[in-house]
Amino acid sequence: MADQAGRRPRLTPERIAQAAVALADRDGIEALTIRALADELGTKPMTLYHHVDGKERLLDLMVDRIFAEMEAPREDLDWREAIIARCRSVRAVLVSHPWSVPLLESRTAPGPELLRHHEAMLAALDRGGLPLPLMAHGYAILDSFVFGFALEEATLPAQGGEGMAEVAQDIAAAFDADAYPQLVRLTVDHVMKPGYSFGSSFDVGLGMILDGLVAAAQRAATPASA
Amino acid sequence: MADQAGRRPRLTPERIAQAAVALADRDGIEALTIRALADELGTKPMTLYHHVDGKERLLDLMVDRIFAEMEAPREDLDWREAIIARCRSVRAVLVSHPWSVPLLESRTAPGPELLRHHEAMLAALDRGGLPLPLMAHGYAILDSFVFGFALEEATLPAQGGEGMAEVAQDIAAAFDADAYPQLVRLTVDHVMKPGYSFGSSFDVGLGMILDGLVAAAQRAATPASA
DNA sequence: GTTGCGCTTCGTACTAAGTACGCCTAGCGT
DNA sequence: ACGCTAGGCGTACTTAGTACGAAGCGCAAC
């Protein structure tokens, strides 16, 4: 079949996962079909099955690839700075692959990248001097917040600015605006003002949680006093 | 066809959505097919299309049904108590319908129940005396945390106790345990101890965020001073 | 150099699931 | 009584995942 004479790009699971991520970025996750992916890679559907075990496995690989893009907390920074940088990185990655957010949950199999990530995160919390129970809490709380935030961002119809007004219009039209006074007030007097950005709440929340952890650690360190 | 003589249960979108939720609870979301749902309702696939516009719409309805189960903040409680109760309720609902968490994100169309919820939540924050910008932050941060937490809970292979040990075993076996000292320490010395529960971090995180909001409000109220 | 083995590659085709089309029936207002 | 409309459903088309087995190609031992 006059196939580019011998030079096979050698399909590998990684290469396939990479192409799948690119395809999802470009056309959306629902456009990611085995056939489309095969086309993209210049091969045929069934060929892919010799490298990945099925679509579920492929999704697992994609998820781990997403985790690989996230910058783990650096060891050369102050623990708090390291954690903030890491959380911002996580958010940025998730925002750049919005389709991945729902995926991250449905997959339970932790890949090596995820574990590496967990480890670095725990190490940073440890450097912060948090006792073990607080490390556990801190990690759970931080990640809940970070992923939850990214999730909301990915879902939001609009992030602010023009689109926002339209959405607000639609909602107000579809339902009785008078029934939702706070919602209206928030939208008109704050969200639709120039300069508003949903994303600005991210750093605020992050700061609150870190402050809370530090305070809790101090409280724990103090032997016993009201 | 000897059809129970005249007594039609009168299919409605609500009834269908309810049956769909029940089916997803029982057999998992992947078992929710139009055909299975029709069987469950004692009808045929195409009949459903006279009441819901397609599977996407059905999922929207299901999501709004989930929101309807969540207890909105009560007006007769102290604002902080009301918010805590509401957040716990949200978490409880999501945990009881774990399949719904990934769904909540992929659907962008806000249903009436969701709006009602937002409204009540904002009202509670308002009662707390938070200025508008802090209300916006507070809501974004709280919901990010609450949904993020539920999301992690829904994903977690095990919540603690027996299952945990197995999972840890698997991970340790699959990868090099020595490469993840913090992870090992956390698992062995904390997570696998009796009494550990991932869920306990929920109230802790909630408290930190609320404390942070109150502190920020106080700071905002103070004219200007370091 | 030839042959054989195994890793890829892929053509074919089956299955599951969403859903368009159009017929059929029952009830109801005129 | 009649036809109109809404709801129910049989049929069949389409998309997508994937099982099965044959065809192609490189390498190692003969």
- Rounded to an integer, the average pLDDT of A84-112 is 90
Report the pLDDT averaged over residues B201-211.
98
| Residue B157: band (very low, low, confident or very high) from pLDDT cuts 50, 70, 90 | low
B5 touches strand C (CB under 7 A): no
Ramachandran assignment for A158, one of left (phi > 0), alpha (psi -120 to 50 degrees), beta (any other): beta
pLDDT score of A162 more than 90:
no
Q: Check residue B9 and give its pLDDT.
A: 53
Own/partner pairs for A47-53, CB < 8 Å, 24+ apart? A47/A11, A48/A11, A48/A16, A50/A11, A51/A11, A51/A12, A51/A13, A51/A16, A52/A13, A52/A16, A52/A17
pLDDT of residue A223: 66
**Percent helix, strand and coil across chain A, each rounded to 5?**
70, 0, 30
Residue A28, domain member (yes or no): yes
- CA-CA-CA-CA torsion sign (B38, B42, B44, B49): negative
Backbone phi and psi for residue A100, each to the nearest 5 degrees, phi listed first: -80, -20
* Cα atoms in the Cβ-side hemisphere of radius 13 Å centred on B158: 16
What is the average per-residue pLDDT within A135-151?
A: 95
pLDDT in tens, B71-102: 999 999 999 999 999 999 999 999 999 999 88
CB contact (8 A) between residue A155 and residue B181: no
Is A25 a domain residue?
yes
| B53 CA vs D5 C1’ separation (Å) | 19
Give the residue numbers spanning the domain of B28: 8-52
Is B189's CB within 8 Å of A137's CB?
no
Please indicate, yes or no, if residue A156 is contained in any of the structural domains. Answer: no
The SS3 of residue A115 is helix
Question: Considering Cα of B193, then B197, then B202, then B204, what sign does the dihedral take?
Answer: negative
Nearest CA among B223, B196, B210 for reference residue B83:
B210
Question: Would the CB atoms of B115 and A175 count as touching at under 8 Å?
Answer: yes
* Helices and strands (DSSP H and E) totals, chain A: 11, 0
Mean pLDDT over residues B195-207, rounded?
A: 95
B40 CB below 7 A from strand D atoms: no
Give the chain B residue whose CA is nearest to the CA of A168: B110
Measure the CA–CA gap between A66 and A69, rounded to whole angstroms: 5
Question: In this structure, is residue B24 part of a structural domain?
Answer: yes
Q: Look at residue A205 and tell me whether its pLDDT is greater than 80.
A: yes
More confident call, B108 vs A48: A48
CATH number at residue B38: 1.10.10.60
3-state SS, residue A78: coil
Protein CA B219 to sugar C1' D2 (Å): 78
A113 DSSP 8-state letter = H
Q: What's the total number of domains in chain A?
A: 1
The region of weakest confidence among A161-165, A191-195, B83-87, B109-113 is A161-165
- The stretch A96-120 carries a mean pLDDT of 86
B155 inside domain: no
Size of interface A-B (CB pairs under 8 A): 182
* Residue-level pLDDT at A206: 98
Among the residue ranges A76-80, A87-91, A149-153, B174-178, the one predicted with the least confidence is B174-178
